[in-house]
């Protein structure tokens, strides 16, 4: 896709919204998956959009994301957004944009983990009620379905068919290019502060001020400090997660071993795997982007156990930042007059970016929002513990 070419027409949404942004100026801070999608959806509706990023498109958390995409959510709003996102990943992907590889997603509990077994049973039942293609399988059925998996210690698994994986960095770069093709201005390598006096930003290096009708803050782990400097408190904590790529060969499934808190997915170089959450708040301006000592060995021990025949060899490992909230749901919507927010995704931001970005763009232009994710449901000074993002409760 060239920077002047639009994305496929099937992906741009209802015609009724095409001119909704005419005459509206919007700054979007953060060219990750959510910010770039929102910028694109605003620009294609006629808004005058300036997209800012302190680095390049997808250079922050999106570029370090796992790229696992599924619609296996038990809660109604999550299921709806998950379904929309998967459909849009399919529509937007292609040889000239970014890849999307269909792949089933399995999550499992080991024998003895009765609480997780109960959660799988309840989650699958609720997913089926939402029309999600999901089923519960015992060890024998799971072995018949996926011969690469070791299943002799599995008590129960859930399997969802509406799933796949992609390259998060390419997605963010593609949607940024699509936004500029739709008329947006992209200011990369441009750190900004949110102005507290009116919707606007100040460029840190030049000191230049710019005023907009609305500002969207989608700066990942930096969103909290950006808004704090503008006098806006949000209930969010950044935390560190880790992943690796290993040389190995297998094609399916994407798998989350909930008992070990380890996920695995196919990758063009072999496999990508990671574990859960460092349950301490991280400083987004002073954190270690390298994997911790012992991380790769620990994760590979689980991979070797669950996939005994693939013999993985680590190629590289890294850390990234995710964001948590008190209730595990994200903060999406208007947080102050003319200031909108998208953060707190518990590690699920990338896989929901196609729907979240579009819905937030619609809200900025006056059409609804996501009530369940309203950031003003919190005062911003709440005390809470960081909990795992990829948890069985979310499917």
Number of neighbouring beta carbons within 10 Å of residue 319: 19
Query: Residue 51: in which H helix or E strand, if any?
Result: strand 48-52
Please write the tens of the pLDDT for every residue from 7-65: 655 344 444 456 777 889 999 999 999 999 999 999 999 999 999 999 999 888 888 89
**Beta-carbon contacts of residue 391 (< 8 Å; ≥ 6 apart):** 258, 328
Nearest CA among 252, 182, 249 for reference residue 7:
182
Rg (C-alpha) for the chain, rounded Å, is 20
Nearest CA among 194, 236, 213 for reference residue 349:
236
Residue 123 in this model has a pLDDT that exceeds 50: yes
Distance between CA atoms of residues 369 and 384, nearest Å: 25
CB-based contact 232:339 (threshold 8 Å): yes
Nearest CA among 142, 73, 60, 106 for reference residue 318:
60
CA angle, 20 as apex, 378 and 71 as ends, to 5°? 55
Nearest CA among 142, 176, 162 for reference residue 58:
176
Task: Give the pLDDT band of residue 232 (cuts 50, 70, 90).
Answer: very high
Q: What does the pLDDT average to over 345-356?
A: 95
Query: Residue 49: in which H helix or E strand, if any?
Result: strand 48-52
Looking at 5-19, 247-261, 362-376, which range is the least confident one? 5-19
Mean pLDDT of all residues belonging to the chain: 92
Please write the tens of the pLDDT for every residue from 186-213: 999 999 999 988 899 999 999 999 999 9
Query: Residue 87: in which H helix or E strand, if any?
Result: helix 76-92
HSE-CB for 101 with a 13 A CA cutoff:
16
Residue recorded with tokens 């699958």: 124
Please write the tens of the pLDDT for every residue from 237-250: 999 999 999 999 88
Q: Is 272 exposed, middle or buried (0-12, 13-18, 19+ CB in 10 A)?
A: buried
* Percent of the chain clearing pLDDT 70 (strictly above): 93
CB-based contact 54:203 (threshold 8 Å): no
Q: Please name each of the domains of the chain with its CATH number.
A: 9-65+168-236+326-394 (3.50.50.60), 102-161+237-324 (3.30.9.10)
What does the pLDDT read at residue 8? 58
Please write the tens of the pLDDT for every residue from 266-307: 999 999 999 867 889 999 999 999 999 999 999 999 999 999
Distance between CA atoms of residues 365 and 38, nearest Å: 11
Number of neighbouring beta carbons within 10 Å of residue 107: 29
> Whole-structure pTM over 0.85, yes or no?
yes
Query: Residue 200: in which H helix or E strand, if any?
Result: strand 200-203
Distance between CA atoms of residues 91 and 81, nearest Å: 15
What does the pLDDT read at residue 381? 94
Residue 296 dihedral angles phi and psi, to the nearest 5°: -60, -45
């Amino acid at each position: 896709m060239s920077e002047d070419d639009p994305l496929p027409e099937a992906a741009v949404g209802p015609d009724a919204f095409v001119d909704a942004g005419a005459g509206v100026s919007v700054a979007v801070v953060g060219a990750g998956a959510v910010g770039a999608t929102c910028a694109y959806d605003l620009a294609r509706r006629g808004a005058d959009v300036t997209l800012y990023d302190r680095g390049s498109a997808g250079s922050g958390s999106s570029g370090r994301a796992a790229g696992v995409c599924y619609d296996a959510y038990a809660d109604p709003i999550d299921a709806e957004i998950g379904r929309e996102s998967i459909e849009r990943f399919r529509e937007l992907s292609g040889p000239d944009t970014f890849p999307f590889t269909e792949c089933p997603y399995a999550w499992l509990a080991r024998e003895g983990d009765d609480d997780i077994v109960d959660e799988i049973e309840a989650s699958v039942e609720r997913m089926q009620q939402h029309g999600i293609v999901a089923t519960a399988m015992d060890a024998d059925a799971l072995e018949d379905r996926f011969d690469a998996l070791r299943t002799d210690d599995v008590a129960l698994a859930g399997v969802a068919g509406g799933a796949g994986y992609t390259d998060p960095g390419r997605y963010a770069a593609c949607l940024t290019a699509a936004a500029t093709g739709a008329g947006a201005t992209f200011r990369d390598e441009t750190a900004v502060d949110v102005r507290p006096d009116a919707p606007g930003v100040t460029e840190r290096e030049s000191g230049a001020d710019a005023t907009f009708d609305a500002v969207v803050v989608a700066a990942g782990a930096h969103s909290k400090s950006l808004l704090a400097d503008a006098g806006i408190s949000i209930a969010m904590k950044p935390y560190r997660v880790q992943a690796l790529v290993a040389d190995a060969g297998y094609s399916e499934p994407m798998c989350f071993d909930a008992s070990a808190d380890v996920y695995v997915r196919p990758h063009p170089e072999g496999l990508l795997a990671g574990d859960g959450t460092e349950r301490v708040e991280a400083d987004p301006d002073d954190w270690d982007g390298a994997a911790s000592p012992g991380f790769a060995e620990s994760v590979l021990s689980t991979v070797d156990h669950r996939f005994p025949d693939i013999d993985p060899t680590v190629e590289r490992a890294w850390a990234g930042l995710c964001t948590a909230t008190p209730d595990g749901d994200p903060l999406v919507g208007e947080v102050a007059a003319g200031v909108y927010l998208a953060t707190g995704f518990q590690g699920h931001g990338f896989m929901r970016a196609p729907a979240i970005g579009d819905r937030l763009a619609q809200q900025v232009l006056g059409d609804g929002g996501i009530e369940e994710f309203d950031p003003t449901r919190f005062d911003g000074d709440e005390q809470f513990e960081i909990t795992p993002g990829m948890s069985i409760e979310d499917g």
